[in-house]
Amino acid sequence: MSADFIVDPPEKADLEFLDWMPSRGLLRRVLKFVADEVEDAALAAALREFVAGGYAFFSLGVYSAEHAGEIMKVIREKLPAAVEEWRPGHEGARQHIAELIELVEEAEAAPLA
């Protein structure tokens, strides 16, 4: 089954619909990884709750700008190495994560609203 990760951090203007559509399993794995890497304990708990719930729709827009920024930073800075550990040498996995990172970078570069 597929899932949706909407890259729509609050306080950003002029964002097109930035939607990453991984499998539900990959979404959960990515968010579990992010939960393990963020510094804010409340954010980590919220992400773990999402993963435990098995949901298939995730939006940065429901988080504060600070929390969305922390999530995006982990994705951009730490996720590529993690994917290589999960699936060594798997070009498809790297490409799929690269798509998410591109969306995150586009959102981070967008002007503030």
pLDDT at 113: 83
- Please name the helix (run of DSSP H) or strand (run of DSSP E) that holds residue 10, with its range, or none: none
Strands (E), the chain: 4-6, 19-20, 57-59
For the record, the structure tokens of 58 come out as: 């995730």
User: What's the rounded mean pLDDT across residues 79-98?
Assistant: 92
Query: Given a cut of 80, is residue 14 above it in pLDDT?
Result: no
For the entire predicted model, the pTM comes to 0.94
Q: How does residue 1 score in pLDDT terms, banded at 50, 70 and 90? A: confident
- Span 16-60, pLDDT tens digits: 789 999 999 999 999 999 999 999 999 999 999 999 999 999 999
Cβ atoms 97, 82 nearer than 8 A: no
Give percent above pLDDT 90 in the chain: 86
Total tally of structural domains belonging to the chain: 1
Domain that holds residue 80: 4-109
pLDDT at 33: 98
